[in-house]
Amino acid sequence: MSTKNISNDDLLANIIKGIEDVKGADIDILDLRELDNTVCDYFIICNGNSNTQVNAITNSIQKVVSKELKDKPWHVKVVKMANGYLWTM
């Protein structure tokens, strides 16, 4: 994200909304704030049923966060893995 001052709660809520808008399933939020030396505060995991849905989830998160918080990710990377995809924003 850019250097804007956005609360974690607002960002999480909008990411979840982006996932739910395109029917992403099994959303889990891992709170990493208590761990030392992490690069983020939260890790969000969800499932999509197809490559198309995974791409839709990525695009929906970007769209919702951009529209609601007037912000966008620094970088987006999607990596195909054996049983699915990993994307970082």
What is the 3-class SS of 21-78, one letter each residue?
Answer: HCCCEEEEEEECCCCCCCCCCEEEEEECCCHHHHHHHHHHHHHHHHHHHCCCCCCCEE
pTM, two decimals, is: 0.81
8-state DSSP, 3: S
Average pLDDT (57-66) is 90
**Which residues face 85 on adjacent strands?**
80
pLDDT band, very low/low/confident/very high, at 29 (cuts 50, 70, 90): very high
| pLDDT given at position 1 | 47
Mean pLDDT estimate for the chain = 84
Higher pLDDT, 42 or 88: 42
pLDDT of residue 5 exceeding 60, the answer is yes
Average pLDDT (23-45) is 91
CATH code of 8-88, in short, is 3.30.460.10
